[in-house]
Homo-oligomer: A and B are copies of this chain.
């Protein structure tokens, strides 16, 4: 951004046109009511829902910046590892055991993607490349080639009933908090599997553990948690049916992020519209 002055914000800093932020304090917005653009260094903007933002400021989230391909990789790795039982084979091999397991039919493992934005759509298509049946669910109706799409509250149960491997990629809003609970997860096909790559607050932790321990669910891969880092002693750390990763499914990549935010600032300054402006009513 030639010509732009870039400064690290501290209390009392000079007024700026735009802010680039991650987990910002309320004080920043109270001190900078003139802000025109607030650029979040991530795709999820749930942290802003509790803040009071300057009324004239547009809140803009990253819309891809290299995240969708990472998310597709992470989810495909988890799906393949579970269905092909590569985790089981590795445990066998660690014990010096050369074991065969009966191949599973991929038709028995439909993958359901909750949330069909930029990330969810790419995940759904990537999983489909491996010939799994793919279903999708989103608030408003979507069409994605090769994906049987459900929409809205009315079709949520039908979506769950058609799903065995559930991938959570919805934004965190008051409506989606705790959406992964005993009631909803019990509607998955028997032997269901959860992959949560959205936010920890989507999941009722104790409900997941109860469903795993009762055998209703077969396992889970979790990349996000209510408190991060995941607190020492939390049962997820050592549960034999849970794979934990430290919020690494899709990282913000520096070069792509800089290019995207710079481009959007220039577009806003020219009076053009940009992708990723958050609808504050809707929450994403």
Given A73-B84, A77-B77, A80-B73, do A99 and B130 touch, yes or no (CB 8 Å)? no
Interface range, A side: 35 or more
CB pair B103 A251 closer than 8 Å: yes
Query: Contacts A84-B77, A93-B246; is A129 near B131 (CB within 8 Å)?
Result: no
Which B residues are CB-close (under 8 A) to A77?
76-77, 80-81, 84, 86
The stretch of A55-63, A110-118, A141-149, A229-237 in contact with B is: A229-237
Residue among A100, A106, A129, A243 with the highest chain B CB neighbour number at 10 A: A129
Count the copies: 2
Contact of A126 among B89, B90, B130 (CB under 8 A): B130
Q: Is the CB of B69 within 8 A of A80?
A: no
27 contacts between A and B (CB under 8 A): A69-B130, A70-B103, A72-B129, A72-B130, A73-B80, A73-B84, A73-B130, A74-B80, A74-B86, A76-B76, A76-B77, A76-B80, A76-B130, A77-B80, A77-B86, A86-B245, A89-B246, A89-B248, A93-B237, A93-B244, A93-B246, A98-B228, A98-B246, A99-B246, A100-B248, A103-B251, A126-B129
